[in-house]
Amino acid sequence: MSLHKVVMIRHGESEWTNRNLFCGWYDSLLSEQGHKEAIEAARLLMEIDNMKFDIVFTSLLSRAMRSVEVILDEINQKCIQVEKAWQLNERHYGHLTGMNKEKAVEQYGHKQVQLWRRSFDILPPPMSEDHFCYNEIRDYFRKFGAHIHVPRVESLKTTMERVIPYWRESIVPSILSDKNVLIVSHGTVLRSLIKHIEGISDSQIMNINVPTAIPFIYEFDSELNPQKSKTFLGDQDKIDKAIKKTAAISRS
């Protein structure tokens, strides 16, 4: 039985993640560390036997698009098709956007902030029009056309409402036509896909954290059943440390 292999990667660290700020739909650039992480992700991809991609799916946010450029350059596959879609954007963090995560804990408490970050359906407060990022986010996405509806806030649940239809309608046909697919996206988008693909419950998904720039692989049969849980590439100790860092609110 021939299996369909799909590789997924969360973009490298952004400047705002480096400063421990909630980012969401704000277009924070790849940090210097994020650039190095993307190079390291490419190195891990080169260890896969015969890994030649046919198509890459990514978001409209620079941290993901730039990670794609760095990775494709490093693996010497610059000329392949890259599909950029707003549906693969990070979840919108609403009022929390731009707030320091430790300050948010001081203001709202650890339990509430963790529920906003990792619960399935608890929405942070929405972004109001006088929020300091409101106009910048709206203007950034206007450039890509009127079809993009910029939300005021999203949970994992509402993020899935745009990610899963895009997965079914745009990504799955490529997988089933035997293309080698690479997805470079964001923490919440990848948690959406992992939840959907592995049938993870609403409560269990709280414990899933996707570290930046460590590729993971799914192998699907022809009915798109995953053969096993996602498999991260690289050293297990490094993977465990990166997952722990992603889960934590404090970066110190």
Ligand X SMILES: O=C(O)[C@H](O)COP(=O)(O)O
Do 30 and 63 touch, CB atoms closer than 8 A?
yes
Considering only residues 109 to 128 of the shown chain, the ones binding ligand X according to CB under 6 A are: 117
Please count the residues of the chain. Answer: 252
Nearest position to ligand X, beta carbon: 23
Q: What is the DSSP letter of 247?
A: H
CB atoms within 10 A of CB 57: 26
Least CB distance to ligand X at residue 145 (A): 23
Decide if residue 187 touches ligand X (CB under 6 A). Answer: yes
Closest CB to ligand X among residues 77, 87 = 87
Helix (H) or strand (E) holding 182: strand 181-185
Let me know the angle formed at the C-alpha of 48 by 45 and 51, rounded to the nearest 5 degrees. 80
Which residue, 16, 26, 3, 14, is CA-closest to 141? Answer: 26
Q: Which is nearer to ligand X, 77 or 192 (CB)?
A: 192
Sole window of 19-27, 39-47, 151-159, 167-175 interacting with ligand X (rule: CB under 6 A): 19-27
Q: Which of 6, 9, 23, 194 binds ligand X (CB under 6 A)?
A: 23
Residue 210: name the closest of 224, 192, 236, 235 by CA: 192
Considering the rule CB under 6 A, would residue 93 count as an interface residue with ligand X?
Answer: yes
Q: Hey, which residues between 155 and 184 contact ligand X (CB under 6 A)?
A: none
Cβ-count burial of 211 within 10 angstroms (0-12 exposed, 13-18 middle, 19+ buried)? buried
> Residue 190 corresponds to which amino acid?
L
Nearest-approach distance from CB 116 to ligand X, in angstroms:
9
Q: Shortest Cβ distance from residue 77 to ligand X (Å)?
A: 26
Member of 95, 162, 186, 230 binding ligand X (CB under 6 A):
186
Binding site residues, ligand X, CB under 6 A: 17, 22-24, 90, 93, 117, 186-187, 246
Q: Show binding-site residues for substrate.
A: 63, 90-93, 101, 117-118
